[in-house]
Structure 1
Amino acid sequence: MKDTTRLIIVGGFLGAGKTTLLFNATQQLMEKGKRVGLVTNDQASELVDTSFLLRTKVNVTEVSGSCFCCNFQGFIDSVLQVKQEANADVIIAEPVGSCTDLSATLMQPLKENFNKKLVISPLSVLADPVRLADILNGGTAGLHPSAAYIFKKQLEESDIILISKADLLSKNELNTLKQKVEAAYPFATVLTISSKTGEGIQKWLKLLETNTKAGQRIIEIDYDKYAEGEAVLGWLNGSVTLSGKADWNKFVADLLGNLAAKIDEMHIGVGHIKILLENDKEYISGNITGSSKTLSIRGKLSNSDSVQLTINARVETTPEELDRLIKETLEGVTDTDIVTTIKAWKFLCPGYPKPTHRYKDVFLPK
């Protein structure tokens, strides 16, 4: 097993595109001969991100039931497990999208206690350009004010800010947004990336390889507001087997399209809604990160008599209302010839964040 492994932590709010970035970054690292491991995180199991990232054919471990910060031992156990099993050169960890205060609760204890086993890379925070622009203009990006507070705090504690989905903006729009971010957060290195085109990913990875200044600031956090920002979101994770003959591509389009239309009618904020429909060889994935305009689908499924549906939803409503919304929409697009078998289904509201560690000062090695 390698003596030291590089650990890359990629934060950022729900819907920023972290999982797609991890997928593409893993591919690029493997093409260079690197052994890569991944660690995902959520408040419940049945995570779309984990199922999707397993398609990279690398070792993926999931920390579920709490955020990395509130289960530091579970986090480090998973990191060291991946390090050993994969003999990894690089491990990329993706915290829960509604998590912040990572510098005080993750970066500092890692630097102090695990610097002989792990090389800690700068804290990268991914930001959706549309939400980011609205936040910089004093808005809430369509989110509850306390959820927007989390978004802003993630940016404040970052070492590197990655403006994602660069392909959605013109070159001038992207340059203008980058300049605004640099002015608002002068302490951070600001990069633009596109997981769709691959633009900027190699530059980001190269920066991580050469920069060891990780967790350079600890920010003030109002934990009551932080807790409210998470609690305004209902969370749902489900896993369902669908058996029968259907046009699965149309099924996904109808399911997400109907969900998006209902959310528009209800005028409620969305952290993200993710689905993954897969068989052994193929998959379709879909996302909603706001209004129906944000709906995106990729992949394709040919005829299959049985498929696995995984769905994760983070929406500004009660868990019970979210459960009703998802189930009713799913039933509405499921043909009568399709047999639906729920394997796992959980809806919840996150509890008050209680981190295992919280450093008051930046740890500086002697």
Structure 2
Amino acid sequence: MKNKARLILVGGFLGAGKTTLLSETTRKLMAEGKKVGLITNDQAAELVDTAFLLKTTSNVAEVSGSCFCCNFNGFVDSVRDVEERSNADILIAEPVGSCTDLSATIVQPIKKLYSEKMLLSPLSVLADPFKLEDILNGGTAGLHTSAAYIYKKQLEESEVIVITKTDKIDSIRLDFLKEKIGTIFPHTKVMSVSSRTGEGISDWLNYVLNNSSLNNKTIEVDYNTYAEGEAVLGWLNASANLKGEEIDWDEFAGKFLAKVGYKIESMKLSVGHIKIMIQNGSDYLIGNITNDAGSVETRGSAGISDKAQIIINARVGLSPDTLENLVRETLNNTASSKIEIKVNAWNCISPGYPNPTFRYN
């Protein structure tokens, strides 16, 4: 008889580094002979995270159109699908980055309804060290106050706070940050990881694989503030085919992100994240802007060719129409007359009022 599959929920605000950690974690577990399934989540299809994780494993399901909590049955169906399709031992689920109240809407329903079928690990919430530091100091980390409210609520309900991107922060500052978290959230375990160097990943994995969620508490959430915190960001998901002659796609990606970053910085806009993925056959590049709008990060290479595909995800403090115009104009400007753009999908929305399937008190 097959043992219960273990489900690991990995939350955290937009730009915290969830997808990168999931990718590195999956590689590590698969190298140890484990069968891993991944479930991604977003308000619309055409998700960079899903395309990126499919480069690591084919055992990926996407719940799009709403968050896990507002489509709990769809979430459970995806968990079952991935588990059955891949006979997975371990399932890792990444909720929408602007989602909170996970304990009441996901953790408690799973424990109540599915405890005989799956083991639920402690709820991990990932946090970018720089945004986290500002939030703990009473700031908003450059976010709208309602979005910062969501960030704080994610920390409050977590069982494990995982400080990410530790390769970008010095050890003294990191230790001080851990100490401060321990003071504010004394009953929450604090850990740290760097997906770039691999430091801390084994420790975090060991903890979540060998402990079960004991979280029976739910937090108070003002759903009007929560809804506003999501709605202040325009959400854009788009994909297109690109065609030119001997185009250096890495150079193209760098120019596109730099131009988007410059516009956002000059307009002093809050950024959840901006992600792109350019695929050229089996070669691909991932690029993102998360913290400082002027700071662009890329990894991988899409090489040089005549054709490629691009996926764009943007979460920016603009109305959907304004965000759509900004991204379209920048994409067309970067392509100029050298690259033909054929849009496959283009969705720009503002999330609706959160309406969870279950909410346990």
Same fold (TM over 0.5): yes
Residues in 2 aligned to 1:170 and 1:133: alpha-carbon distance in whole angstroms: 13
1:159 and 1:216 in contact (8 A); partners too: no
> Per the alignment, in what secondary structure is the counterpart of residue 54 of structure 2?
helix
Match of residue 102 from structure 2: 102
Asked if 1 retains the 8 angstrom alpha-carbon contact of 2:265 and 2:294, the reply is no
The answer (yes or no) to whether the contact 2:108–2:216 under 8 Å persists in 1 is no
Pairwise mapping of residues 1-366 of structure 1 onto structure 2 (< 5 A)? 2-245=2-245, 246-360=247-361
Tell me if the contact between 1:147 and 1:229 (Cα under 8 Å) persists in the aligned partners.
yes
User: 1:60 and 1:104 mapped to 2: Cα distance?
Assistant: 25
Q: Please report how far the alpha carbon of residue 148 of structure 1 lies from its aligned counterpart in structure 2 after TM superposition.
A: 0.1
Separation in 1, partners of 2:205, 2:301: 30
Which residue number in structure 2 is paired with residue 364 of structure 1? Answer: none
Asked if the contact 2:258/2:294 (under 8 Å) is kept, the reply is: no
Partner residue, 1:363: none
CA deviation digits over 1:91-141, x for unaligned, max 9? 000000000000000000101111121100000000000000000110000
Q: 1:178-235, CA deviations, whole angstroms, 9 ceiling, x for partnerless residues? A: 1111111111100010000011110001001221134342100000000000000000
Preserved contact between residue 40 and residue 95 of structure 2 (Cα < 8 Å): yes
Matched-pair contact (CA < 8 Å) for 2:262–2:294: no
Deviations 1:256-277 (CA, angstroms, capped at 9, x unpaired) = 0000000011011000000000
Cα displacement string for residues 49-92 of structure 1 (whole angstroms, at most 9, x for unaligned residues): 00000001230000000000000000000000001001000000
Q: 2:348, 2:357 → 1: CA distance?
A: 25
TM-superposed deviation, 1:3: 4.0
Q: C-alpha displacement at 1:326, in angstroms?
A: 0.2
> How far apart, in 2, do the equivalents of 1:86 and 1:240 lie?
30
Paired with 2:119 and 2:295, the residues of 1 have a C-alpha distance of: 37
Which runs of 5 or more structure 2 residues have no equivalent in the other structure? none
SS of alignment partner, residue 329 of structure 2: helix
CA distance in 1, matches of 2:302, 2:280: 8
The RMSD of aligned alpha carbons is 1.0
Aligned-partner residue type, residue 114 of structure 1: Y
Measured after TM superposition, the shift of residue 294 of structure 1 is 3.4
Whichever residue aligns with residue 54 of structure 2, its letter is L
* Post-superposition offset of 1:325: 0.3
SS at match of 1:149: helix
Counterpart residue identity of residue 144, structure 2: H
Matches of 2:131 and 2:294, distance apart in 1: 13
CA distance in 1, matches of 2:144, 2:293: 18
Counterpart of 2:148 in structure 1: which amino acid? A
Aligned partner letter, 1:25? T
Distance change in 2, residues 1:214/1:254 (3 Å): farther
- Number of residues of Structure 1 aligned to a counterpart in Structure 2: 360
Identical positions, percent? 55
Structure 1, 282-291 or 222-231: larger mean CA deviation? 282-291
| Paired letter, 1:220 | E
SS at 2:305's partner residue?
A: coil
In structure 2, C-alpha distance between the alignment counterparts of 1:204 and 1:79, rounded to whole Å = 22
What one-letter code is carried by the residue in structure 2 that aligns with 1:207? Y
SS of the aligned residue for 1:244 comes to: strand
Q: Is the 8 A contact 1:147 1:226 kept in 2?
A: yes
Q: TM-score, structure 1 length as denominator? A: 0.97
Q: Is the 8 A contact 1:7 1:93 kept in 2?
A: yes
d(CA) in 2 for partners of 1:153 and 1:57?
Answer: 32
Once the two structures are overlaid, the 10-residue window that deviates more, 240-249 or 162-171, is 240-249
How far 1:293 sits from its partner (Å)? 4.1
Letter in 2 for 1:271: G
Distance in 2, Cα, partners of 1:217 & 1:282: 45
User: Following TM superposition, by how much is the alpha carbon of 1:280 offset from its aligned partner in structure 2, in angstroms?
Assistant: 2.1
1:3-55 CA-partner distances (Å, limit 9, x unpaired): 41000000000000000000000011111110000000000000000000000
TM-score when scaled to structure 2? Answer: 0.98
